[in-house]
Amino acid sequence: MSDIVELLRLPKKAQVNQRVFTKDIVVAADAKGKEKTLLEKSISTVYLVGVLNESTTGLWAFDDGNYMYREIQVYLIALKDASKVKSLNEELQRVFPNPAVMIYKYENQYMIGTAMKRLNKVEKGKTVIDSLQTTSWFSLDDSHKSLIERIDYNRKNLKDLYEYIDYVASAEYVLRVTKRIPEIIDFSIKSKSVMIQRLVDERNKLLAQEDEESSMQGKMRCHMKIQEIEQKLETFR
């Protein structure tokens, strides 16, 4: 079993090691053309490593007619080509209707993909993706090990558990930028991650602009704005 799967500390009853063949995913996806090429060129192996449901976790299922969390599936996906991993995550999340945690591995790096899904009111048994999320690629340094170990299974129900895993995935971006694991990981981490992303994007644009500025005055203006952004980022540390 992979180191990252061990860090998840899945309940013993939830642990499985079932191979899922790429050809079967292609058939399930009814993939043709670009989608078929994406799956075949990207995936090396896929293993279902965790099945989280009422009997394996002791948590209640959740079904309110719009969202259904009766089973969360955890997959470990080794890649041979990671250049289109975000597109791959979207395709795989579409293929597997259950709430799914995708753990991608490429060489010695990992990425976690999640998707919030609601029931398809038109096609029974299918789901619609509300939002997708992937972490950055990360190695299993001490900080990331500690972050993953923050996942616990003492939640209200399976929906609450999946949302918490999604929050932990959001916290990875905060960790990457601030070099610290957020003390509180809850729904607020999503907005915090977005705010940090905007500040980082703005800083990167200013850094590029600073390099292109020919005048010292222009460079100083950019530098001062960059310092202001750095001060704002510091508040998240």
46 and 135 together in one domain = yes
Half-sphere exposure of 13 (CA within 13 A, CB side): 9
Question: Are residues 120 and 205 located together in one domain of the fold?
Answer: no
| Domain end marker among 181, 200, 220 | 181
Model confidence, pTM: 0.88
Same domain, 90 and 139: yes
Say how far apart CA 172 and CA 180 lie, in whole Å. Answer: 9
Task: Verify that 161 and 202 share a domain, yes or no.
Answer: no
Number of domains in the chain: 2
Query: Is there a single domain that holds both residue 158 and residue 194?
Result: no
Dihedral sign for Cα atoms in the order 40, 51, 185, 146: negative
Q: Are residues 214 and 150 in the same domain?
A: no
Determine the pLDDT at residue 1: 54
The segments of the chain whose pLDDT lies below 50 read: none
Same domain, 121 and 200: no
Q: Residue 154: which residues within 8 A CB-CB, separation 6 or more? A: none
Asked whether residue 17 falls in the same domain as residue 131, the answer is yes
Same domain, 20 and 61: yes
| Pair 113, 216 in one domain | no
Both structure tokens of 235? 């508040």
pLDDT at 37: 95
Residues 194, 173 within the same domain: no
- 9 and 119 part of one domain: yes
Give the pLDDT of residue 184. Answer: 92
Domain extent, residue 37, equals 3-181
